[in-house]
Structure 1
Amino acid sequence: MSGDRPTLATSEALKTISGRIPMPWLIVWGAAVAIGAVGFVTTVGGDAQRAWMSVWSNFLFWTAISMAGIVFGAVLQVAKGHWGKSFRRLAEAAGAFLPVSFALFFTLRLGAEHIFPWLGPVETEHLNRDWLTLDGVFLRNGVLIALLYAFGFLWLFYSIRADAPLVAGEHRGWRRTVVSLLARRWRGDEEEVTRCRNRIGRLSAALILSWAIIFSLLSFDFGMSLTPGFVSMIWGPYYFIGGWLGMLALVAIMAHHYNGRFDGLQLWGKWDFHDLGKLTFAFVAFWTYLWFSQYLVIWYGNIPRETNFFMPRSTGGFGFMFWLQMVLIFALPFPFLLGRSPKMSSRWLAFVGSLILIGFWVERWNMVAPSIWHGEGLPLGPPEAMISVGFLGLFALAYGAYSTTFPKVPLRETIAVGSPGRGP
């Protein structure tokens, strides 16, 4: 099977550097950001909670996907994942959103009073008010994500440094300046590739562990605490594995988009998509297992106080959105990816990836809105659509800035792996 995978020369891979975001897309994504800003400003004055709920859920959605993009390469290193090396740059590009995420994190404090129910009186004794303080939540998580993001960018630096001298020659202006900084004090090709590979080898396991711990804490404070009295020991993995699965879906979409776009150059073959499809299929099942495990423990343990999480989501107007997320993330992707042939089709895999991404947007919205919304009707309409479009525009601009600066596949491989093997 490995013989059916495309083998690219360096000159061919360099052709995938476009050097700029196409003007039509730049206008589209810029307009999307403007729409989001207008949607927030026009909503926050009349219905502040609804505006901040949308900001909150979109922050959780895009941040989880972005950090998972950098962690993808670290996982390949630790797992010796030879098959996924060619997808690494597509995943890493999601990490370009992290500086935006960091800035947005501190703006969330402005709307905290509209989101956190524990800031006021709550009818539960199962609430740790020593842990859940406004200053504590934002200081604690702010320091942790600053450290994690810095760690992630350090890993990313060594991932792309080996390619930097070649990439810099393809650019001019600010892109050339930025890429040239990544290649400062170059010591020669062989020495630098070896050095980058060694640094990545040392950093990868620690990055994965830090991601799991810090994103678990973030999800406890920003997600689980919205339902006072609800406690789930697997809430952390439920959150960050959701981001991981959303990232895999994004990679499938972008790989289909770029494949054959550069003078017909096939960057990934059917077996590459087959492997990506297998991993996506596995985590569709695993994420669903995590979700069901939360419910199962409450049911067989007869823990009525924790039903306050599931009851608002499975009844009334929120019930439809609850089941919609399960259909989009599990009920459709699972059978769609069962066979071998569907996983080999980039078009089909991108379609399934689109379902999963939409499903996780619904899931993150369901994570926030049912816990705190007490108004009439379903808080889902033009304001939520406009703010979500704005976040999409921000993410697309960040992703596009990275993906148009670097080649779509690595030029000099810095991840140490074993010899290529045949998968099942």
Structure 2
Amino acid sequence: MQLNVNLEKALEYILSRISPLPGESIPLMQALGRVAFQDLLATRDLPSHPQASLDGYALHINDLGRLDSFKVQERLRNGELPRSPLIPGHAVGVVTGGPLPGGTGAVIAQELVTVKEDRVIFTGKTPQGSNIKTPGEDFRAGDLLARGGTRFDAGLLGVLAAFGNSEVMVYRRPRVMILSLGSEIVPFHAEPVPGQIWDSNGPLVASLVTRNGGQVVGVEVVSEKTNGVKEHLLNMLKQADLVLTIGGGASGVCDNALSELQGIGADILFWGVQIKPGSHSGAAIWESKPIISLSGNPAACAVGYQLLAAPVIRAFQSLDPYPHRLSALCPDPYPKKGGPRRFLRGLATCHQDGWRVSLQPGQKNSMLRSLIGCNALVELPAGHPPLEPGSRVSVLLLNNAYTGMESQA
């Protein structure tokens, strides 16, 4: 067991034990936000045949620039196919996205022609190919649509629907169980007695797991004073790909997370991380399944989750486990100095002159306030001086999927 490791070592220890989960087939309409299990290729040309790009009249290729009056051969409506190829000297009424008769050289917008009984008159000039969507204009058969490990967005789902895909292969969502430890904690829906508080960390972490693509299969609370912690852990490990424990990670008289994990025979990878908040975090492996222990203070719990648990959930889905880093200007001061590597909760926004990040109010480890609207962590190196307004800082974006910066592993 490694004690008090740096963040990079902690991630190395745990990510080396994680492999992407198996794939599963799901309906296309349920795939938004899921991760493609394999490369996706175009199965045919799109469009598969010449189409009109607007409502108008198709003219024969031999008539372009030669005639200005055309007999209407037929007028097509949505879903109708031409009955025959286009005859020179004739025009066929067509609709946007509709098929074109053979021999079409160009399509003239209906606003540019004059209709007189069964004839249309067009006196302008139009180049060959005007207003025609050619076969394969959008995609050629065999084109790569997306690589495996790409998160499905609305555009990709629309493209797959255009190829007639009703189901897609995705990485299975990692199943996550969350266990809060502490006799002073009760579920948020229960009634506390004097000396007890509602569990806010469980719902907080469950929401973060869901946002990262995980499937929360249980959020439970158990007192360290009972003999049921071991039973809870073993039961959770049978159901989950990842178990997150919250609280009890320090060395106080009531802290028992480490001993409970040792009690079930888990292989402790590390205990204690050189960060603040979240230093009382650790990780273990039980029969190839990871367990991550997070601090009980809300801000420390959230920071520990983002730095240790979120990368594991992403790795399970074959995504890049590491959050995107960028440089930003911070308009706010932070008076504290020195100490371990520190992560402040922030709100990052992109402006015309670059990124800015403001510090959230309530930066104490025990406070929840800084987590409202938090989308970034401001990283200050170990031994840092006080942060001055207008300083340039290193920022970790916490939800890459919503910034277009997420990539496959």
The TM-score, its normalising length taken from structure 2, stands at 0.25
Bigger relative contact order, structure 1 or 2 (CA pairs below 8 A, ≥6 apart): 1
Higher strand share: 2
Asked which structure has the greater CA Rg, the reply is: 2
Greater helix share, structure number: 1
